[in-house]
Structure 1
């Protein structure tokens, strides 16, 4: 195994790990956190979401969330010289991780900021209705894109191992 190939596999493993953590987080929000919060009254759901958003905004989460596309791009670039069989899967993973980041920036961060701006009183009676359904719907899409990226990265590792053996 060449040094470039070893670095490509290492980058793909890192991309797979960070993408798995992101996919798991988004899956958990889609299937437990938001349904659980949805049972609360308007003020309580906004307060709870505001506190979760404050807790999740930390360097470890940022490194993981942004590490996924960065490591996927690195894996793609490191696999280019060998014309690896993993290339199409790495391209698919990069597109899907980029989609996850774009949806987060375009949809979720502005919605989260609206909650932050209204805290702690949450006097806007329509805030929950403007926030909750849209946030949940687009989070399902992020769950699909990040899970698809994880699948593509896993397959990239599989075909890389198969071609090396």
Structure 2
């Protein structure tokens, strides 16, 4: 297992970085662009993304990284005396809590509500306003958490390879 740690750590860093880039894009310009559209168009665009994002490559990056984080989190506890273990645990927890849990608890329910609404209705407009007020800040959390996870995995990788 110790021999695999650097490879698994690099893969977790890569996955965290991919997700950080995705969330950063939404926080930096995608949601801003959507906010300039009429609500029904913004809702349609976001709903389209929410449907098309559910594909194998996204699943591999999002859930594959989560699986790596579970393995690395357990390994960090079992091999606690090994250099880099604390960084492995920090990176794993940041990703699992700050990306996976936040997505499941906050972002996905908002996405589901957006999918269920009639975009051109008054309810659609009201939901779109609420969606921005709630979805975007949680996306910022995911951006920071995945970036922190990436940094922690890079630090862990450096410690693991220094041995």
Indicate the SS of the match to 1:57: coil
2:72–2:89: 8 Å Cα contact kept in structure 1? no
Count residues with an aligned counterpart: 159
Q: Which residue in the other structure is 1:116 paired with?
A: 115
Superposed, 1:12-161 pairs within 5 Å as 12-78=9-75, 80-81=78-79, 83-99=81-97, 100-119=99-118, 121-123=119-121, 124=123, 125-161=125-161
The two structures have a TM-score, normalised by structure 2, of 0.90
Q: Which 5+ residue runs of structure 1 have no aligned equivalent? A: none
Q: Distance in 1 between matches of 2:66 and 2:40?
A: 35
**Residues 51-109 of structure 1: CA distance to partner in whole angstroms, max 9, x if unpaired?**
11111111221221111121123234445448321100011011101111111001100
Moved more, 90-99 or 59-68: 59-68
Q: Distance in 2 between matches of 1:92 and 1:104?
A: 19
1:9–1:75: 8 Å Cα contact kept in structure 2? no
Q: Which 5+ residue runs of structure 2 have no aligned equivalent? A: none
1:96–1:148: 8 Å Cα contact kept in structure 2? yes
The two structures have a TM-score, normalised by structure 1, of 0.89
1:26–1:143: 8 Å Cα contact kept in structure 2? yes
1:10 Cα offset (Å): 1.2
1:86–1:156: 8 Å Cα contact kept in structure 2? yes
Moved more, 73-82 or 56-65: 73-82
Moved more, 103-112 or 76-85: 76-85
